[in-house]
Amino acid sequence: MPQRAAAQARPAAPLKPGTELKPAKRPVKSPRLADNSAPIAFALVKGAPDSCGPGCDSWIAAEGKIDGGAAARLRKFIKQIGDRKLPIYFNSPGGNLEQALAMGNLLREKKAVVRVGRTTLRECGFEPQEGEACTRLKQAGRELHGEVWTRGAICNSACPYIILGAPNRELAPDVTLAVHSPRVILNFTGGVPTREMRAQAMQRAMERSDKMVLDYITRLGADPTLLTVARSVPFEGMRILTREEIARFALDRRERVESPWMFEAASRGIAYKTVLNRKDGEASFRTTRLQLVCFDQDRFELDVERKAGTGATLAMVSGDLRLNFLSPPRRAGDLERWGLFLNGSQMKALASLPGAGLSDAPPNTVSPGVSTFPVGNDGLQNALKKLMESCPPSKAVVYPSGLPVPWTQSSSPQASAR
């Protein structure tokens, strides 16, 4: 994808879960798409090798508002692609509740794998991904080409009920799911109803809606508290679900969730990934974020951000490879950030491995009982390739003697990791 087009697809800033979003008095950036979002469209998309997971290069993009014909279009689309077992990535502000439940039932019937993610299409060129021209491409029904992103992707309102219906649910650590009360639209015929008549009709409609959702949740074996949380928020607001709630409500019960390495072309190219994990007996998930940047094509910095107080040292280890982070880490509140400098050879060696581990054991310590925190390298080679293409050419570091000195941790600018 051209660098400019990738920059247009830059994900939104992550939002804090567990809070209620309320409408503002003036327009502001929001995780919800505009109310005039196009009806949800389904597109077959092909990407690079392993772009949607190991061995996966094609997926179904489901993007837009859930309208009155969404379930019928999904059934027709699935029939058109035949027996291909492809993951479905949803990116939707929500919409029609009954259609969402029907779609969830269909996905359960088809034993589908569902995820949340934004698809950017190469065929759109420099056109906005949510623009009319790009929307028409998504609705054309032909195979397209693109990339899928999780950071900044949303599944709000009625959309989480679709996810809940599928038997295989995989939600990346950096997506947003949010719920609220349904909006009921009343239509009266034969005269103007009184206020009392409207109130009674509204109550009956809400009771019917609640029963419909509760029956759906119960049949799926999920926690009915999901409905309680949704009903606690007015339709005008939005309650972002925490990762603990996502697990509790059976939207994704995994105790460890790891995103692939992704490249983002912003003002400065970066590669990043996020890992969420929760050990047996723990109530909360722990977040570990990794970010890779370059100074040039032979000088890189890897940062690890996690909860403070985990250990006095940190190293990236894999087999005979051991790369020590600078100590002590930089601290901000209850978080610590560790920095590690790598040259091009070290970076390529790390990317060629299937995975590595973060170890708090001091160097040269023989401690068989010391465990490492595993970090997969899924997507790292592709992200590193794009990162290097965005970096300036490497330059030799020349000292007063006139002899170039190779990049090493001892000759790295300390301020860059602090």
User: pLDDT tens digits, residue range 156-168?
Assistant: 999 999 999 999 9
Class of domain 3-254: alpha beta
State whether the Cα torsion 209-212-216-219 is positive or negative.
positive
Instruction: Let me know: does 382 contact 355? Beta carbons within 8 Å.
Output: no
Question: How far apart are alpha carbons 285 and 242 in whole angstroms?
Answer: 10
Taking residues 190-202, what's their average pLDDT? 71
DSSP 404: E
- Mean pLDDT over 304-310 rounds to 86
Residue 245 has pLDDT above 90, yes or no: yes
pLDDT at 12 (0 to 100): 42
Neighbours of 187 (CB within 10 A): 5
For residue 161, what pLDDT is reported? 97
Average model confidence (pLDDT) across the chain: 83
Banded model confidence at residue 136, pLDDT cuts 50, 70, 90: confident
Distances (CA, A) of 216 to 95, 100, 111, 190, 254: 17, 11, 17, 34, 22
346 phi and psi angles, rounded to 5 deg: -65, -40
Quick one: pLDDT band at residue 397, thresholds 50, 70, 90? low
Asked whether residue 276 carries a pLDDT value surpassing 70, the answer given is yes
CA angle (47 as vertex; 112, 99 as ends), nearest 5: 35
Q: What's the pLDDT score for residue 131? A: 78
- Residue 13, pLDDT > 80, answer no
Element (H, E) at 76: helix 70-81
What pLDDT shows up at residue 203?
A: 74
What confidence score (pLDDT) does residue 34 get? Answer: 43
Give per-residue pLDDT as tens, 281-292: 899 999 999 999
pLDDT of residue 9: 39
Q: pLDDT: is 220 or 3 the higher one?
A: 220
338-385 residue pLDDT tens: 999 999 999 999 999 888 999 987 655 555 555 689 999 998 998 999
The reply to whether domains 3-254 and 257-395+402-417 share a CATH topology is no
Q: Is the model's pLDDT at 78 over the cut of 60? A: yes
- Average of per-residue pLDDT across 169-192: 82
Confidence at residue 418, expressed as pLDDT on a 0 to 100 scale: 33
Q: Residue 312: pLDDT above 80?
A: no
Determine the straight-line distance between the first and last CA of the chain, rounded to whole angstroms: 33
pLDDT of residue 19: 54
State the CATH class of domain 257-395+402-417. mainly beta
Domain range annotation of the chain:
3-254, 257-395+402-417
What pLDDT, on the 0 to 100 scale, is given for residue 23? 42
pLDDT of 64 over the 90 cut: yes
pLDDT for the residue 406: 47
